[in-house]
Amino acid sequence: MMRYRGFRGLLGWTALFAASPLAATEPAPANPPPAVAPIPVESFGQLPFMEAPKLSPDGKRVAAKIAIKGQQRLAIFALDDTQHVGVINPGASDINGWSWVNNDWLIAQIGATAPVEGDSWYLRRTLGISADGKTITMLGKDDAAQSADDVLWIAQDGSPHVRIALQTSIYSDAAGFWPEVRDYDVTNGHSTLVQRSVETVMDWFADPAGTVRLGMGYDDASRSYRLLYRDTAKQTFRTVSRARGRDADLGNTPAIFLPESGKALAFDDADGFNALYPLDLATLKTGPKLFGVPGYDIDSVITGDGGSRLVGVRYTDTRERTRWFDSKLADVQAKIDAAVGARTAQIVSWSRDFSVLLVRVGGADRLGAYYVFRPEEGVMHIFATLNDGLGIKAYAPVSTIHYKARDGLDIAAVLTVPRGRPAKALPLILMPHGGPFARDDESWDWWAQFLASRGYAVLQPNYRGSSGYGGDFTRKGRGQWGLAMQDDLTDAVKWAAESGLADAKRVCIVGGSYGGYAAFRAAGRDAAVYRCAVSYAGVADMPAMLRYDGAFLNGGRAKDYFREQAPDLKAVSPVYDAAHFAMPILILHGKKDTVVPVAQSRSMVARLKAAGKPYRYVEQPLGDHHFSREADRVQFLTELEAFLKENNPA
């Protein structure tokens, strides 16, 4: 499944280690192209050259996902020798994550769709990989069933050990269907049992010492949950919380197990927004709030010392930010922020002693680059640009606006406008995000930046039901697929027209996944608002999605979710409304999409064809839900540009 390939001179790495002082991290581009020259589609469609680089504990090596000839690979290389690179080719597998175990070994989590007893299953595995990339060991090779990539713990003493929860059977009436936890030596794949499986428990959690302390059980038949807990490995688990039903709440569960006995940190939304609190494990009661952001949810915590120490908290207001609790990182962040000015800088990885850091410098208007920074040296070295076609300069400006929905609800939206043009009476692309439990923010968006380069304003509303704005805002989306959630989109167009930003007669809706559903829905419902629609991997048939997701593990819960999205699923399913489609529509879908199956778009196309409605359908044979292949990105943008030129020219 996996093979090793090494070579000299990795094509596409530009300006490696070009030293520049901290206060001048961005070298001026030489001979910039004329402002009137269109930027090629291929530049916007490039896969980011490097994603999520991670330093080894000693700061001497980096593991990162890189793009080679339009395909994603896992690369391992010495920080001071980028001419010798170990590259792991996953073949048909996805690279879902990777972590250093010690300075000589790392693990990678992969996944692939494979035939299992006449059906297609997504199988997850964990690999042990030597730092030179020459030795690869599949952990649990002879034991693993469907899922074997839930890494609970990584040793912090330098030994090559991890603890993984994995299934050993695909049959739900077998004990091995419920994950057990094993301790693996990543160098050879040998393992010992740490925790036996417990019926209904699919999720285990370990503390920084590797002790399995918490288990979460779920019974699909009764829609009931339970929380198991113990203080030490010598104790048996006891049930500390039970819940049942749609709004089941098991109470507070640890985000971090602290070194102090019986102490942890946990998320809670007691004041309406997800915040961080100290947690007493004996009572599951929280203390005074440790950190929160008024009006916004916390996204995640950043830990150190094997997960026992709070290093920082990430949250998103208008853009992603970090509140560092570690004084060294807080000091470095302040200095870098002062140096980069209007750009944004995010510390993404560091050595265990903080002597070497990797920093991404970019912004909503520029893809940017990764830099190496050594605090003692005080100099930023550019390490890798992310797109050799776009470089590190600024493109279309991005901001956040607010508008009122028809019922008075305040909604934030991300606005991207063409650079160098007055933001008045522009052709508009309304671009709802997927999810729908997700959100847009002021970060680089290759769709929006491409469209702005072609003369369009792009408005991305965080409609009701979006994440990040507290529980009440999310709950307002319940039961509102195609209804109030769709109204929020048309109200965004109204704001854009009334503010003078957009020409109300030149508006098109473009979206993917749930955004693709919204584009389908608009095509049959909102002919007075939009001239055209574009759906990528969109949901068209809600009852069919209910059946599809309901066929997976815990399908009852998935069915409940879809049933809650509208009072009448068929009534808000675009596939049953094809006769009312009143605008041209472009439909694209990847054949290998396992999130929203290609059958959704195929059914929509069949109904449109039968109704005699105009459409263009493009099916990408190797495409997935996430645009993992560069060729699919470029094809999408090419089709999008041609469609808009014909139906909503800028």
Burial of 457 (0-12, 13-18, 19+ CB in 10 A): buried
pLDDT at 32 over 70: no
pLDDT at 627 over 90: yes
**Which residue carries 């972590």 as its tokens?**
99
Alpha carbons 537 and 586: distance in angstroms, whole number: 11
Alpha carbons 190 and 18: distance in angstroms, whole number: 43
What is the arrangement of strands in the sheet containing 285-286, beginning at the earlier edge strand?
Answer: 254-257, 263-268, 275-280, 285-286
pLDDT at 22: 41
Q: Is 473 helix (H, G, I), strand (E, B) or coil?
A: helix
Quote the pTM value.
0.91
Contact 247, 197 (CB under 8 A): no
Rounded to the nearest 10 degrees, how much is the dihedral formed by the CA atoms of 405, 408, 413, 419?
80
Other C-beta atoms closer than 10 Å to the C-beta of 621 total 8
Residue 519: name the closest of 568, 567, 589 by CA.
589
Tens of pLDDT, residues 564-578 = 888 999 999 999 999
Cα–Cα distance list, 340 to 129, 333, 387, 508 (Å): 36, 11, 19, 36
Mean pLDDT of 617-628: 96
Question: CATH number for the 398-647 domain, one of 3.40.50.1820, 1.10.10.10, 3.40.50.720, 3.90.1720.10?
Answer: 3.40.50.1820
Q: 179-192 b/e with 16+ CB inside 10 Å = b? A: bbbbbbbbbeeebe
Alpha carbons 529 and 182: distance in angstroms, whole number: 57
Radius of gyration of the chain (CA): 25
Tens of pLDDT, residues 127-150 = 999 999 999 999 998 899 999 999
Amino acid at 252: N
Mean pLDDT of 427-432: 98
Q: State the pLDDT confidence band at 561, using cuts at 50, 70 and 90.
A: confident
pLDDT at 550 over 90: no
Mean pLDDT of 491-517: 98
| SS (HEC) of 133-179 | CCCEEEECCCCCCCECCEEEEECCCCCCEEEEEECCCCCCCCHHHCC
Tens of pLDDT, residues 323-341 = 999 999 999 999 999 989 8
Q: State the pLDDT confidence band at 33, using cuts at 50, 70 and 90.
A: very low
Least trusted range by pLDDT, from 56-60, 87-91, 265-269, 635-639: 87-91
Mean pLDDT of 468-487: 96
pLDDT at 13: 28
What letter does residue 411 receive in the DSSP assignment? E
Residue 228: name the closest of 258, 250, 249, 248 by CA.
250
HSE-CB at 184 with a 13 A cutoff on CA atoms is: 33
Tens of pLDDT, residues 197-241 = 999 999 999 999 999 999 999 988 888 999 999 999 999 999 988
pLDDT at 121: 87
Tens of pLDDT, residues 5-27 = 222 222 222 222 233 334 333 44
Within 471-525, strands assigned E span 502-512
pLDDT at 222: 87
Q: Is 412 helix (H, G, I), strand (E, B) or coil?
A: strand
Alpha carbons 303 and 314: distance in angstroms, whole number: 11
Alpha carbons 368 and 172: distance in angstroms, whole number: 48
pLDDT at 16: 27
pLDDT at 259 over 90: no
